[in-house]
Every structure is written in structure tokens, then in C-alpha cells.
Chain A
Amino acid sequence: MDRQRTRSPLARARGFGSAKHGAEHWWMQRVSAVALVPLTLWFVASIIAHTGSDYATFIVWLRTPLISILMVLLLIALFYHTALGLQVVIEDYVHSGVKFAALVAVRLGCFALATSGIVAALRIRFGG
């Protein structure tokens, strides 16, 4: 008790919590959501526009610099948002020993999917 009183309010506030990043998850979920509103709408609209396109037309479209950039941004925001969202779902419903494994699997899975997608988009952009 005495030890706490000798610390300044700021020092005490800084010391709260074990990780000191309590708001980070909540905040990044919002930031990624805001990014995904235009990105996913762009993606869905593009897919509708390409309904009848063949492979060649589709690749020409994907090769455009702006489209490559938007696709990479979509993949980053999408899998960041997915990792954060699934983490909350697991934390809420999984209470057995599987919880730890599931949390690791979701994180690594989202990293792997985002990387695979970005590499594919770049291969289309720069590949022969």
C-alpha cells in the first residue's frame, strides 16, 4: 500500500496490466475494419465486373499496378482482421488445452495465407 502511494499517478497508470497493450487489439480491429470497407467493396465490384472474363483478360487486369497494390492491401487488412476476430472467438468459446494450439494455429495460418496471397499477386504482376 505504502509503496503504491509513493508512486506518481502516471507511474501507477503505466504499471497497470501485465502487457500494457490492452486497447491495441480492440483498436487494430477497428482500423483494419475501416480499411476493409472500401477494399472489400472494390473487390466485390471488380469480381462482378469480371463475371464473363476469360483467364487472359483477368490476368491483364491483375497486372495493372494499381490493382496489384489494392490486392496486396486487401490481403494484409483481411488476414489481420481475420486473425484478430478469430482470436476473440477462440478465447470466448475454447477453454480446454486446445485453446493455446488454436490461437497459435490461427495466427500462423493467417500469416501463411496472407504471404501466399501476396506472393501470388506479385508473381502475376512481375512474372513472365
Chain B
Amino acid sequence: MSNQAAERPRPLSPNIQIYRPQLTSVLSIVNRVTGALLSVCGIVLVVWLVAAATGPHVYALVQGTIASWIGQIALFGVTFAFFLHLCGGIRHLVWDTVHGFELRSIYASGWAIVAASVVLTLAAWLPRLFAG
């Protein structure tokens, strides 16, 4: 009996690839991915602060990297990731108060945080776009 059970492979839950992507699942994954990405940005924040504390030459080096084309594109992406994680986090905090769990509200809040993240990212970059 126990041998037979050991030979038969245990049932596995279906892999995520077979599901049609839904807003709910995609945003859940997005919150994790942006969180991981922002962790890397935490390293950049510390490097930037340490450079500022070290002196103008080291700071200019870090600032120059951020001001480069690649740096600016990365910073734009990071801004969007930040607002997605921020809005997604606020959505989670609202859920923690046991509100907004109806299917309609879940989709409404989902689209709301996507729209808010786009608007906030563009708003954050407006001064930069006008300046340069």
C-alpha cells in the first residue's frame, strides 16, 4: 500500500502558464516584481547617499550615471514601478480593513491603481520633460 503510493506521482496544482492572464493575478505578480525591483533601487539610494557623504567628485560620478540616457530611462521605469507598488500597497491596506472584496470593486480598484500609476509617473516627470 505504501509502496504503491510512493510510486504514483503526487497530484500537482496546475501551473500558472495555463491560465488566461487576469487583471487580478497580473497585478498580484506586478506587486511582487515591482517590490523586488525597488529593493535593488534601495541599493542605489544608499550608494547615492554614501557618494554624497564622500564628496563632490564621487557624487558627480554617481549623478553622471543617473543623468545618462540609460540612467534616465531606468529612472523613468523605476518611477512607474514605485507608483505601481505604492498604489498596489494602498489597495492591500484597504483590503486589510475588510473592504472592497466584491468582484466589481476588485476590478475597479485594479484599473484605478493602473491609471493612477500612469498619471503619477507622468506628473512626476513633467518638470523634467519641460526642462530638457
Task: Please give the residue numbers on chain A whose beta carbons come within 8 Å of chain B beta carbons, in ascending order.
Answer: 30, 33-34, 36-37, 40-41, 44, 48, 51-52, 55-56, 58-59, 62, 71, 75, 78-79, 82, 85-86, 89, 113, 116-117, 119-121, 123-124, 127
- Is the CB–CB distance between B42 and A37 below 8 Å? no
Quick one: closest B residue to A79, CB to CB?
Answer: B42
Q: A37-B86, A71-B49, A124-B53 are in contact. List 12 more A-B contacts (CB 8 A).
A: A34-B93, A37-B89, A48-B128, A51-B128, A55-B56, A56-B56, A58-B59, A59-B52, A86-B39, A89-B36, A113-B42, A116-B50
Task: Please give the residue numbers on chain B whose beta carbons come within 8 Å of chain A beta carbons, in ascending order.
Answer: 32, 35-36, 38-39, 42-43, 45-46, 49-50, 52-53, 56, 59-60, 63, 79, 82, 86, 89-90, 92-93, 96, 124, 127-128, 131
B51 shortest CB reach to chain A, Å: 8
- Interchain residue pairs A-B with the least CB separation, the first 10: A120-B53, A120-B49, A123-B53, A117-B46, A120-B50, A55-B56, A82-B39, A113-B46, A85-B35, A124-B53
Interfacial chain A residues near B52, Cβ < 8 Å = 55, 58-59, 62, 120, 124
Partner of A117, one of B49, B56, B86, B89: B49
Would you call the interface of chain A mostly helix, strand, loop, or mixed?
helix
CA of A30 to CA of B93 in the docked complex: distance in angstroms? Answer: 7
Interfacial chain A residues near B32, Cβ < 8 Å = 89
Given known contacts A48-B124, A55-B60, A124-B53, A33 and B93 CB-to-CB distance under 8 angstroms:
yes
Given known contacts A30-B96, A86-B36, A120-B53, A40 and B46 CB-to-CB distance under 8 angstroms:
no
Quick one: closest B residue to A83, CB to CB?
Answer: B39
